[in-house]
Amino acid sequence: MKNLLGSSTKELENVALDYGQAAFRGRQIYNWIYNYRNKKKNIDQIEVLPLDFRKKLKDDGFKISDLSIQERNLANDGTLKLLLSTEDNESIECVGIPTEKRLTACLSSQVGCPMDCKFCATGKEGLKRSLKASEILDQILFIENEMNRKVTNIVFMGMGEPLLNIDDLLLSIRSINKDLKISQRKITVSTVAVPKMINKLSAKSFQILGNCQFTLAISLHASNQKIRETIIPSAKNYEIENIIEDCKQFVRDTGRRVSFEYLMLSGVNDKLEHATELSYLLKGFQCHVNLIQYNQIDEVEFQRASLKNLQSFQSRLTQNGIAVSLRKSRGLDKNAACGQLRQNARNK
């Protein structure tokens, strides 16, 4: 099967020419695919094309979607979570997070995840496979179609470890930038951190994208190696000091500051001594820390840190010269933790 999603204008013009059509027919396909107002997902529903052309494309296996909606959950704050089915009967999640001025799409890069972070629902079932670039892009179109507005920002913070699917990740970013007209500066790639892959990410970005302007976010969640290993098993293969050194090299290579995600877990990593330790770890480095409230799940014992501890932690980092912000959780009333919707559906 040949998925047209992710194809450039030139590539679609060539498809049209191959079928004896004028090049502008390819541009019509392009405009149809990337217009969020077009709800129809089938080749034979692209009404601007001649009927015989549509039939030939469909008969030859062309398509514009690999996914279908399995479940929708709309939270009271307007956050939309979608459970999407793949052609091989797997399930992935994506989330649309609206504000007055923007719509952020939180995307998955894999079916499941191999990292087995102890606080995360996704890792409980392991990795099934990586997603194709077209499946990543399709999540954006579903969010736009369902919410009837244009996505403005992208975060790869859904299911999976993006750096273990680096080629399709970057191909999807290229299309997000070129075809969906979303600036790289409005894209964030979040990773638990995989040895040697941060350097590979910047190098391959220049090869595939021509530059590297997106934000790299490291799911750090600890101020020292010992704590990190207790909540992220894969951390034993990648010392926290080495992660910081690789991030410093990323900044030198790209000119982009790095963000560090820090999930506040009560009694685990939320004490003032941890804030002080984190300050020394990151001092003198072009970075930013996002403190995150934990979305609790039934299968693990972790609890959300108190608001008092969050605020004290944030103040200590600020006092020590570390740029920091508190990221509020969205959609808490509708299975907000990544992986929960998929897991609930499998348990039905």
Is the predicted pLDDT of residue 238 greater than 60, yes or no? yes
Torsion angle defined by CA atoms of residues 266, 269, 272 and 275, in that order, rounded to the nearest 10 degrees: -140
Q: Flag whether pLDDT at 343 surpasses 60.
A: no
- Pick from 114-118, 131-135, 204-208, 271-275: least confident: 114-118
Q: Which domains does the chain have, with CATH numbers?
A: 2-63 (1.10.150.530), 68-340 (3.20.20.70)
Reported as a pLDDT band with limits 50, 70 and 90, residue 44 is: confident
Task: With beta carbons less than 8 A apart as the criterion, state whether 180 and 209 touch.
Answer: no
SS3 306: coil
Average confidence score pLDDT of the chain: 92
What angle, 0 to 180 degrees and rounded to 10, lies between the N-to-C axes of helices 133-147 and 166-178?
Answer: 40
- Joined together, the tokens standing for residue 275 give 């804030």
Instruction: List the one residue out of 348, 345, 347, 296 whose CA is nearest residue 93.
Output: 345
Please report, for residues 32, 34, 80, 88, 207, the alpha-carbon distance to residue 95 in angstroms, rounded to integers and kept in the order given.
23, 19, 6, 21, 29
Catalytic residues: 93, 338
Give, to the nearest 10 degrees, the angle between helix 166-178 and helix 197-208: 40
Structure pTM? 0.92
Identify the band that residue 344 occupies on the pLDDT scale cut at 50, 70 and 90. low
Which pLDDT belongs to residue 116? 87
For position 330, what pLDDT does the model report? 62
Q: Say if CB 82 and CB 95 are below 8 A apart.
A: yes
Q: Using the predicted structure, report yes or no on whether residue 153 has a pLDDT greater than 60.
A: yes
| Neighbouring residues of 119: CB distance < 8 A, sequence distance ≥ 6 | 221, 231, 263, 265, 294, 297, 300, 302
Q: Percent of the chain, pLDDT > 90?
A: 82
